[in-house]
Amino acid sequence: MGGFTLTKKQKFLAGVVCSLIVLELISIAHYVTREHDSSPMGIFNSALRILAFLTTILLLLKFLLPDWEPHRKWLGCLLGAVFTISILQGIRSIFAQSAGLLASQESIRLIMLLLGLVFGALLSSHFQLLRGIIRNKNTEKTAGIITAILLGLTTLSTMMNMIYAIWQSRNPILIQIGAAKPFSIGDFLSFNQLLLYIYQIGYTILFFAWPVLSRPILEKENTFMQITFEKNLNPKQKPADQSALGFGVYFTDHMFLMTYDDGEGWHDPRIVPYGPIALDPAAMCLHYGQEVFEGLKAYCGADGKIRLFRPAENMARLNLSNGRLCIPPIDEAFAVHAVEELVKVDRDWIPTQDGASLYIRPFIFATDPFVGVRPSRQYIFAVILSPVGAYYASGLNPVKIFVEEKYVRAVKGGLGFTKAAANYASSLRAQQEAQAKGFSQVLWLDGVERKYIEEVGTMNVFFAINDEIITPALQGSILGGITRKSCIEILRAWDYNVTERPLALEEVVAAAKSGALKEAFGSGTAAVVSPIGELACGGETLSINNGEIGAISQRLYDELTGIQWGKLADPYGWTKVIA
């Protein structure tokens, strides 16, 4: 989707790589033609250099054409092999140097080889495979600066080496005038050795950190498909009382739609007046439930700015759901862009009252008119918006939870980790029965042993037991909540001991009885943080923190809502100001 153009940074880097390639080519030509060494080590070195040179060119191509995928596996193997050999070569060079075995020219060649290889490896967007391990923007900035410095040093050193190599290449004029040594080789080599060590350490670190570093540099400049716009000429009356908005009752004037066909892929993105969507009665979503969705919010801050909270995470999760339900993937960046455009169109609908926000519901459903069980060949991706009231009208409010031992929400291998409509259909009965008994949500246990805690209603769950804050590990049956992820990151930044591990109900019950259970809370986009005041479990009622809000829940709630509404600084770079 969309074309591909180079950003200024990319053009600059491409220029640097091209210059290095030219230098490398001159150096290889010089080495092969004038210093040809027919010993096994000489042949090995020549082969390695040519390989490295080819790799650099491949990497440049990969850099310029990041969507070029067929070579993915073998380029990775090639790079891995070349990089390993270059490190071994470097080590050999250091030992040989100290043993006085290598001629100065050889050591220079090795330095250049190493720098060329590592620099090439550094440019590989291939290593973005590890991307997403750290997504802290500050880390990226720092790493970007380090990269720039090291790139500068590399270029400088390579050029110096080249000049030195040419100078040393029995320059006829120098030989004639008898000035073979322009300056002390010893000084030069030790300076280069020093650089070599710095680079080796620096680049080894960079090599492994590259997934993070490359993101801001290699990220595609987005030239998205054009979204067509049809204005709603009959806008609705906006709800007058923002304190009575409730959740998911009102919808704005426009919606985003995009269509998928097997032949055309995703196409025809459009913002149109909000209204019914015509469906063939045989549309597959109506029969086999091939539907996935997401949920996020737009917040109008006190500063008047409109912010989204980690929207890219929602779109990544949407693709995770898509994958499980055989729905073709969407372009995540484009989906975020579509949400932004839609929110901007309907920005007057964003509530301004404290705690109120605009709920965003992206969803994809199968539209193929076919009543047979197979993945649909046609889909609609839609986004609708709903102004919603504050979840807590008067501050955080602890809830009563019923431990569900009869029904299960999901099992490993099933759909639990996705936001598939089917999961919510299967949860309704338990929720209805718990509500009839006076509870607000159910605590879901694992579907096999009914032993381990999974989620609470449509939220993830955390328990503070002694000095440990535990949240069930994501093992396939639990939805990876974006609020859960954010809570974990914030708590760790605050130096809490947060663990993601299987948590047995009996451990929580025992902790509640012994007083080790300090507090418990759910986490999700709707409530942000929802303290649990009471757990009803097998006829017993356990009070948690005397039914009061815990200090951790309150602090987390204040931090997250502060970031979302722009009242607090956003050190994590989670919010995206869109207007």
Ligand X SMILES: Cc1ncc(COP(=O)(O)O)c(C=O)c1O
Q: Which is nearer to ligand X, 60 or 488 (CB)?
A: 488
| Residues 314-353 as x/- pattern, contact with ligand X by CB under 6 A | ----------------------------------------
In 403-431, which positions are buried (b, 16+ CB within 10 angstroms) versus exposed (e)?
A: bbeebbbbeeebbbbbbbbbbeebbeebb
C-alpha 477/C-alpha 455 separation (Å) is 9
Q: Which is nearer to ligand X, 154 or 431 (CB)?
A: 431
C-alpha 167/C-alpha 178 separation (Å) is 13
The encoded tokens of residue 514 equal: 């012994």
CB of 427 to ligand X, least distance (A): 8
User: Can residue 10 be called a binding residue for ligand X (CB under 6 A)?
Assistant: no
Q: Considering only the stretches 243-251, 432-440, 453-461, 530-538, report the one whose residues sit in contact with ligand X under the rule CB under 6 A.
A: 453-461
C-alpha 355/C-alpha 369 separation (Å) is 42
Are 364 and 324 in contact by the 8 Å Cβ rule? The answer is no
Q: Considering only the stretches 163-171, 179-187, 188-196, 451-459, report the one whose residues sit in contact with ligand X under the rule CB under 6 A.
A: 451-459
- Closest C-alpha among 48, 56, 68 to residue 23: 56
Nearest 10 degrees: CA dihedral of 434, 437, 440, 444?
Answer: -30
CB of 454 to ligand X, least distance (A): 9
User: Can residue 367 be called a binding residue for ligand X (CB under 6 A)?
Assistant: no
What are the φ/ψ torsions at residue 419 (nearest 5 degrees)?
-105, 65
CB of 410 to ligand X, least distance (A): 8
C-alpha 25/C-alpha 270 separation (Å) is 50
| Residues 465-484 as x/- pattern, contact with ligand X by CB under 6 A | --------------x-xxxx
User: Can residue 459 be called a binding residue for ligand X (CB under 6 A)?
Assistant: yes
Please list, in sequence order, all residues whose beta carbon lies within 8 angstroms of the beta carbon of residue 37, skipping any fewer than 6 positions away. Answer: 43, 45, 46
Q: Which is nearer to ligand X, 10 or 530 (CB)?
A: 530
Q: Considering only the stretches 144-152, 351-359, 456-464, 570-578, report the one whose residues sit in contact with ligand X under the rule CB under 6 A.
A: 456-464
Q: Which is nearer to ligand X, 148 or 474 (CB)?
A: 474
Q: Which is nearer to ligand X, 125 or 460 (CB)?
A: 460
State which of residues 447, 524, 533, 550 lies at the interface with ligand X (CB under 6 A): 524
Q: Which is nearer to ligand X, 31 or 391 (CB)?
A: 391
State which of residues 55, 147, 357, 460 lies at the interface with ligand X (CB under 6 A): 460
What are the φ/ψ torsions at residue 442 (nearest 5 degrees)?
-110, 150
User: Can residue 295 be called a binding residue for ligand X (CB under 6 A)?
Assistant: yes
476: left (phi over 0), alpha (psi -120 to 50) or beta: left
Are 153 and 197 in contact by the 8 Å Cβ rule? The answer is no
Q: Which is nearer to ligand X, 203 or 363 (CB)?
A: 363
Query: Which residues form the interface with ligand X (CB under 6 A)?
Result: 295, 455, 458-460, 479, 481-484, 523-525
